[in-house]
Structure 1
């Protein structure tokens, strides 16, 4: 008799501890890449320091001028440098050593913080340096961010990119929640000068960490940064409709459903002025909840659908927040909106990092910078204008519903985004094969 094959025994169901571990952030990129660890720590230090200045500058302007218009003008002077230098920074990131670009811009940002410190130490601090420094910080940020984003796929394995994106998101959220709180305490007890001094020290430490990064030179056939190079990146983005979809959906979501400019008025409407700080921080709390349970991200393959569903969820949560009359329910749905925004951002970044060729990654990162920075700026104008024409609540809930409608329309118009699958997408497969070949060459 031929013995029968034994049926495989069913795999045991995971224990509660195993299920919890599967939800926690995947730390593989942290353990596998020393450069990723250095960049993560440098970024964490910078985030905390930057939030000190983020709080200190408008507060100092308020003290010097007493004008809400003067404080609001900070956003206006930041927008144009961010757009112009964001595009140029993308071209630079493809044309020079990304490590050097990160180092020089980080050092420059530290010098600008030192200028704020010196101005504050004057017997009579001047107003105009605050605007000049704000514009220059925006320009240097535009130059640096594409290189920061473009270097990650070089120092992290292809299959670990979603986990690395989640860890970077976690770093920012920790800073977004704790940074303003620490800044408020520092400024209240030690003054503006001490806050600026801590920011300078944070940049010095960040530069030391970044200095230990391995060189990340441009490819041998890289061209000098030029308008033609920027346009080449734009043409590539236009040819990839799934990429175009990620940019368009993010812009639409932020334009229609980013009402932070009218939060002070919403707090008044809710008779909860005490909760204004909580309203600003609620989204970051929701985001943190996602990243602390982001182990599932690496097991999702249909990234495009997640971008669409999460962006629609962001708009719906904002709409419900606008309908609520209880402050705690408003905070709950603002946190839900932040969670949805983070999910959308994680999978947008995964599509970008897993499919864009290295020689174009800097320029495309510059375009991405515009998609997630210009949208919120215009969104605040939209929210304020709608509130002026109608009322605060209508501005919030109508914007949320408009976000859901626009995301749905874009999803129908760009089917390649909805059908994107990292396992079969030709660009993702090509990049995976290229990374594997590079790993074999390096090992040999």
Structure 2
């Protein structure tokens, strides 16, 4: 089972609880935005456009947000960004409730929401290594990822159930309530000022210094590269609204197939997370990441060929399990191999990669599906993942050979 030792640390437990509260709410909005865009336009191409709109603030504020996290009290920054995300979700609820049906307003609000998200995520991730000892970082990452995927499972399923009964605007409203509750847990975290001296302004030079540091770390560079490949070529979520309705028979207003498609990846991730105790004992983490990403690509390719909803859900769940294995090891490598003064900036790059890759995938898969169909877009992308990752490992063997540090005997 999942290693629960980090939960004995009160500060980490509070951070974990804040993740638990928002996990479901944030996924309701993640379903509501593309569904609302598809309802207005009837086009997967426009759904894919949400990826391009979200990508710009993720790139800018993900990198800058990581630099800010290295120069200010990370607890205060979490509070500010959580408030910003809650306010934009509230405006999303209002426009849906009054029925404005403006694609461009939804996209603009999504961009603002993602700007706050891009600062919040590297800050939250950088906090973990300050709250737990080094040998508990992998279990702490597994616990946090498991709780996030819990929300990714039940959020979409709840969305599929709520949409026909209460309407799309209710999804946004529940997210606002969850974000408001999480402020209590974040408020109770200890102060987390920079370890390298008094606070200062974060500027372009800090961002550049982060990239200079990253350029010297081949293992970290490779970990980012393989994840970009997996997400950009293998994440088919922009196809879900169209496939739910036109392949698996959902009614036009939304239904259970849409919920199951969005929930399937995190179902697999959550199951792996719940039984992740053995993962934290694997030291050849580079090999594990490569195997997991190849398994992800194969499962996505099989999903594209599925004509049965339940077969499609099984393959996407298998992909989610493989992605969870990859994520646990990649996040652990990043936490261990980075100094605290650079951890926020590198987590910013990590956020850009992890969150930005799927946004690019939304754009590419959406327009590919418009040209060649959803099945070809998904299957072709999954096969490309396997080919490109194997080529990357031939060029970057240091990552394949990476081993995690041994756990202290006294731990």
TM-score (norm 2): 0.88
Deviations 1:278-309 (A, max 9, x none): 33322111111101110102211111111111
Alignment equivalent of 2:383, drawn from 386, 401, 405: 401
Q: What's the counterpart of residue 167 of structure 1?
A: 143
Matches within 5 A, 1:258-337: 258-263=235-240, 275-337=257-319
Q: What's the counterpart of residue 253 of structure 2?
A: none
State the shift of 1:210 in Å.
Answer: 0.6
Q: What's the counterpart of residue 211 of structure 1?
A: 187
2:29 and 2:300 map into 1 onto residues whose CA distance is 29
1:193 and 1:262 map into 2 onto residues whose CA distance is 22
1:296 and 1:330 map into 2 onto residues whose CA distance is 28
TM-score (norm 1): 0.82
Which moved further from structure 2: 395-404 or 156-165?
395-404
Matches within 5 A, 1:105-184: 105-119=81-95, 125=100, 127=102, 129-184=105-160
Alignment equivalent of 1:238, drawn from 206, 215, 229: 215
Q: 1:40 to 1:184 in 2, by over 3 A?
A: same
Q: 1:256 to 1:220 in 2, by over 3 A?
A: closer
CA contact (8 A) 1:25 1:292 kept: yes
Matched, 1:247 2:229: no
Q: Secondary structure at the match of 1:95?
A: coil
State the shift of 1:263 in Å.
Answer: 3.9
CA contact (8 A) 1:303 1:350 kept: no
1:55 and 1:280 map into 2 onto residues whose CA distance is 8
2:289 and 2:89 map into 1 onto residues whose CA distance is 36
Query: Relative contact order (alpha carbons < 8 A, sep ≥ 6): 1 or 2 greater?
Result: 2
User: What residue ranges of structure 1 are gaps of 5+ in the alignment?
Assistant: 1-23, 437-444
CA contact (8 A) 1:47 1:172 kept: yes
Matched, 1:90 2:66: yes
Which moved further from structure 2: 275-284 or 192-201?
192-201
1:173 and 1:215 map into 2 onto residues whose CA distance is 28
Q: How many residue pairs align between the two structures?
A: 401
1:183 and 1:271 map into 2 onto residues whose CA distance is 17
State the shift of 1:183 in Å.
Answer: 3.2
State the shift of 1:180 in Å.
Answer: 2.1
Q: Secondary structure at the match of 2:70?
A: helix
1:268 and 1:109 map into 2 onto residues whose CA distance is 30
State the shift of 1:343 in Å.
Answer: 0.5
Larger radius of gyration: 1
Q: Secondary structure at the match of 2:192?
A: coil
1:398 and 1:61 map into 2 onto residues whose CA distance is 25
Matched, 1:28 2:9: no
1:398 and 1:35 map into 2 onto residues whose CA distance is 45
Matched, 1:41 2:17: yes
2:296 and 2:339 map into 1 onto residues whose CA distance is 30
State the shift of 1:346 in Å.
Answer: 0.6
State the shift of 1:115 in Å.
Answer: 2.9
Matches within 5 A, 1:2-21: none
User: What residue ranges of structure 2 are gaps of 5+ in the alignment?
Assistant: 251-255
Alignment equivalent of 2:402, drawn from 420, 429, 432: 420
